[in-house]
Amino acid sequence: MTDQTKDQAAAALKEVNNQLKALTEKVQPLAENALNEAKKANDLSAETKETVDKALTDLNNLRQAQNDLQVKLGEAEQLFARGGTGNPGAQVDARAGDLAVKDEQIISFASNATSGKRISVAVPRNALTSFAVNPVDGSTRIVTAPNQRVTIRDLLAPGQTASNAIAYLRETGFTNNAAPVAENTTKPYSELTFEEVLEGVKTIAHMLKASKQILDDLPQLQSFINGRLLNGLKRVEDAQLLFGSGTGNNLHGIYTQATAYSAPITIASPTRVDTMRLAMLQAALADVFATGHVLHMHDWTAIELLKDTTGAYLFTNPFSPNTPSLWGLPVAETNHAAMASKFLTGSFAEAAQIFDREDANVVISTENADDFEKNMISVRCEERLALAVYRPEAFVKGEFPA
C-alpha cells in the first residue's frame, strides 16, 4: 500500500470516527425516548420503532466501516514499519502507548476527565512490537535499524478472522506410495489423512490502576501503556502460543502439540548446537523443513558465549547488533520458565498460523470499584486471537543434554 493510499485510509477513518461519534450522540436520546414510550404505553409505535431500527442499523454499518478501515490502516502501518515505503529515512512504527496518547479521544478525555466515562482505543498489530524505537521528536532521524528481538508471533504466519472460532483441517498422517510403474498398469495411491479441528478465539487481557493525575502527563501515560500493559500482554501471548493447554480459555500451544525429539542419527556427546541441527533433520525426514527455533534466554546465551580455542566467539560479535539465528534460521528467545533447558524447532511459517480476531484494545475508565473515592483510573488492555497448528509433526520439541 502506498503512502497516498495510507493517508487516504487514515483520512477516511477519521471521517468515519467523527460520523460515528455524532450518530452515537444522536442514537442515545432516541433509545431513551423509545424506552420511556415503551414504559408508558407498554409498546412502541411503528414510527418510533422504524426510526430507532434505522439509527441502529446505520450505527452498526459505521462500526463495521470503522473496523475495516482500522484493519486496512494497520496493514499499511505494518508494511511501513518493515520498510515497505522504500524511504530510507522513514520513521519506525510507533508503539501502542504512542498511538493511544495521540488519539483525539484520549487528548479530549485527558483535558476533561468526565466522571463515569470510558475511552477505548484500538491499536494496530504492528504497534505491539516490543522492539520499536521512539524518536525524541518527529525530526529525529534514526541512523540505524534497532536490534530487533524476534518473538514467537514473528515466526508464525499471520491471519485474521471475523468469527469467534476457526475451523481447519489438521494433517494426521501421510504415506507416500509413489513408485515407478509400467505402462498400462494401476498406479499406486498415497494416503493422506486429516481431522477437522475447531479452535475458539481466546482473550488475553489484564488491567492496571493508575493515578488520575497521569492524564495530565500524556508522555507518562504513554510509558505506562508501553512498559507495563503491552509488554505484559505479549509475555502471556508468547506463553500461550507455546504452552497453552487447549482447555478452557487457553490456546492450544505449539510446544504442547509438537512431536517429541528422537535423534535420527547418533553422534558422540552432542552439544546444544548439535541437538538443534538434529532436530532440524528430524523435521526434514518428515518432509517438512524448519523455519525457526525457540529457546530459553539462558540456553541461547550459553550458545552465544561459545568460543573457539583462541577465545573468539563462534556465533556472535559482541560489538555489533545481530539478529539471533542458528543454522541459518531465526531464534525467538523466551524467558518462560517452562522453556528452560528445552528447545522447539519446526516449520513455523507453514505449519501454524495466528488468526487475530481483535488487535490490542486499550480502554481507560474513570470509575471502576473505588476509583472515584481514591481519585484513580483503571486501564485495561486486551486482545483476541486463535491459533491453528496444521501439522504437529512439523514441530520437534525436546530437552538439551545435561
CATH number of the CATH domain containing 362 = 3.30.2320.10
Q: Which of 113-122, 139-148, 223-232, 388-397 has the highest mean pLDDT?
A: 388-397
Give whichever of 14-23, 39-48, 323-332 has the largest mean pLDDT: 323-332
In a domain, 114, yes or no: no
Query: What's the whole-number mean pLDDT along residues 220-249?
Result: 86
Of 197, 217, 238, the residue that ends a domain is 197
| Sheet with 202-211, edge to edge strand ranges | 118-122, 352-365, 376-389, 202-211
Q: Report how far residue 202's alpha carbon sits from residue 364's, in angstroms, rounded to the nearest whole number.
A: 22
Q: Do 189 and 257 reside in the same domain of the chain? A: no
- SS3 state at 87: coil
Q: Answer whether residue 256 shows pLDDT above 90.
A: yes
331 and 251 share one domain: yes
Per-residue pLDDT, averaged over 295-311, amounts to 92
Question: Is residue 290 scored above 90 in pLDDT?
Answer: yes
Host domain of residue 272: 204-399
Cell of 188: 499406486
What is the sign, positive or negative, of the torsion defined by CA atoms of 41, 46, 51, 53?
A: positive
Judged against a pLDDT cut of 60, whether residue 219 lies above it is answered with yes
Looking at 109-118, 156-165, 215-224, which range is the least confident one? 109-118
Note whether 296 and 182 are same-domain residues.
no
Residues 177 and 247 occupy one common structural domain: no
Q: Are residues 229 and 372 in the same domain?
A: yes
What are the pLDDT digits (tens) for 319-329?
776 788 999 99
Which comes out higher in pLDDT, residue 316 or 3? 316
Nearest CA to 380 out of 274, 171, 232 is that of 232
Let me know whether 78 and 171 are in one domain: no
What integer pLDDT is reported at residue 78 of this predicted model?
A: 46
In a domain, 81, yes or no: yes
DSSP string, 217-276: -HHHHHHHIIIIIIHHHHHHHHHHHHH-BSSTT--B-HHHHSEEP--SS--SS--HHHHH
Cell numbers standing for residue 318: 559482541
pLDDT-derived band at 91, boundaries 50, 70, 90: very low
* Largest Cα span, the chain: 92
Q: Which residue has the higher pLDDT, 6 or 289?
A: 289
Residue 35 is assigned to a structural domain of this protein: yes
User: 309-366 pLDDT, tens per residue?
Assistant: 888 888 777 877 678 899 999 999 998 999 999 999 999 989 999 999 988 788 888 7
The more confident residue out of 63 and 136 is: 63
Q: Do residues 285 and 379 share a domain?
A: yes
Could you give the count of Cα atoms lying within 13 Å of 47 in the half-sphere of its Cβ? 2
Q: What whole-number distance in Å separates Cα of residue 384 and Cα of residue 203?
A: 4
Residue 256 sits in the same domain as residue 385: yes
Instruction: Report the pLDDT averaged over residues 140-150.
Output: 46
Question: Do 188 and 249 belong together in one domain?
Answer: no
Domain count, the chain: 3
Using left for φ > 0, alpha for ψ between -120 and 50, and beta otherwise, residue 116 falls in left
d(CA 243, CA 338): 8
Q: Give the per-residue pLDDT at 93.
A: 44
In a domain, 184, yes or no: yes
Compute the mean pLDDT over every residue in the chain, rounded to the nearest whole number.
Answer: 77
Domain end marker among 58, 90, 122: 90
Question: Which positions ≥6 away from 196 have C-beta within 8 Å?
Answer: 167, 168, 169, 170
